Amino acid sequence: MTILVTGATGNIGRRVVDRLIDAGQRVRAMTRDPRSARLPTEVEVVYGDFRLPQTWPSALAGVDRVYLFPAAYPAPGPGTGFTDKAMQAGTHRFVVHSAAAAGFEPGDDPEDRSLTALQRHLAEERQAHRGLELMVEATGAGWTHLRPGLLAANTLAWAKRIRTERVVREPNGAAGYPLVHEDDIAEIAVTALLTDSHVGATYTITGPARISQVEQVRAISVATGQRIDFEELSEERAREQWLRDGCPADYLDWRIELLAASLDGPGPLPATDTFQRITGRPPQTFARWAFDHVDDFRAATT
């Protein structure tokens, strides 16, 4: 059995690859840059790009199961999409890397300018990820949809500033969400790829509990053994910093609103018990994640 992992060099995809190798599986990894993939030697690394259908045949040949990254774009015509070509190559199982937004109630139009920036963003997210799920369901293959909430790995955006200045500057320090460890998602993905127990299931996966930005910085400080300060920014100063950091302009408003939405409650992404129900264990904490990523944040010593 050959399992294709798309998005294999990403935070979750790489963990999926590692777990499949540990399970003794034959793994093929599709990436747009095989030379820089740095995957285990047991992995068959192939060039492939969801935007270039001519690259798909070599990636899909003989593949039984696919871990599908959410960049498989809608097909321009019947039978021409990536999932269609996978089925034609013999694939009979998909585990879809979706997002929690796919489970939101439909209704909002992303083009409705009367909506808040966050409402439009979540509507766009729902449309894109639920669209991918429906595309997979239409193939008639077995499927499992994994819908992660906000990833703990998003805090890697702080890594350079922590290493160089030992400070995090953000608005709404008390805001937070139940950030999920990428390895928890990978664990369920691999179980769904290798067993029949999760066919037809949809799982929204989060971390164990809401953790504020200030608490996240404290956990990274403990993991690194170095003092890291949190500096509260006004929303205006946060926008200026994010623009300097290279964030797209359309990111600014919905990001501010996402943080503000969790100041007095769980916001749009509350914690779920999905991981515990499936594995019998609680999901990994942000503190555990920080220790696992300590080298990303620890400043060099002289």
The β-bridge partners of 30 are: 6, 46
Instruction: Work out the average pLDDT over 13-19.
Output: 97
Instruction: Work out the average pLDDT over 173-192.
Output: 98
Q: What CATH number corresponds to the domain at position 163?
A: 3.40.50.720
Name the residue range of residue 70's domain: 2-150+181-205
List pLDDT tens digits, range 151-160.
999 999 999 9
The pLDDT score that the predictor gives to residue 301 is 55
Q: Note whether 139 and 221 are same-domain residues.
A: no
List pLDDT tens digits, range 142-175.
999 999 999 999 999 999 999 999 999 999 999 9
The pLDDT score that the predictor gives to residue 283 is 98
Q: Note whether 220 and 85 are same-domain residues.
A: no
Q: Is 20 part of a structural domain of the chain?
A: yes
Comparing 67-71, 112-116, 186-190, which segment has the lowest mean pLDDT?
Answer: 112-116
Q: Which residue has the higher pLDDT, 112 or 282?
A: 282
The pLDDT score that the predictor gives to residue 299 is 76
Q: Note whether 113 and 146 are same-domain residues.
A: yes
Q: Is 275 part of a structural domain of the chain?
A: no
The pLDDT score that the predictor gives to residue 114 is 82
Q: Report the domain count for the chain.
A: 2
Measured between its terminal Cα atoms, the distance across the chain in Å is: 49
Question: What would the DSSP string read from start to end of the chain?
Answer: -EEEEESTTSHHHHHHHHHHHHTT-EEEEEES-GGG----TTSEEEE--TT-GGGHHHHHTT--EEEE-TT-PPPSSTT-SHHHHHHHTT--EEEEE--GGGGSPS---TT-TTS-HHHHHHHHHHHHHHHHHHHHHTTTSEEEEEEE-SBGGGGGGGHHHHHHHSEEEES-TT-EE--B-HHHHHHHHHHHHH-STTTT-EEEE--SS-EEHHHHHHHHHHHHTS--EEEE--HHHHHHHHHHTT--GGGHHHHHHHHHTTSSS-TTS----HHHHHHSSPPPPHHHHHHHTHHHHPPP--
Do the Cβ atoms of 198 and 261 come closer than 8 Å? Answer: no
Q: Note whether 200 and 231 are same-domain residues.
A: no
Q: Note whether 36 and 158 are same-domain residues.
A: no
Q: Is 274 part of a structural domain of the chain?
A: no
Q: Note whether 106 and 168 are same-domain residues.
A: no
Q: Is 278 part of a structural domain of the chain?
A: no
Distance between CA atoms of residues 143 and 227, nearest Å: 45
List pLDDT tens digits, range 65-101.
999 999 887 777 777 899 999 999 999 999 999 999 9
Q: Is 277 part of a structural domain of the chain?
A: no
List pLDDT tens digits, range 201-225.
999 999 999 999 999 999 999 999 9
How open is the CA angle 28-34-38, to the nearest 5 degrees? 85
The pLDDT score that the predictor gives to residue 300 is 65
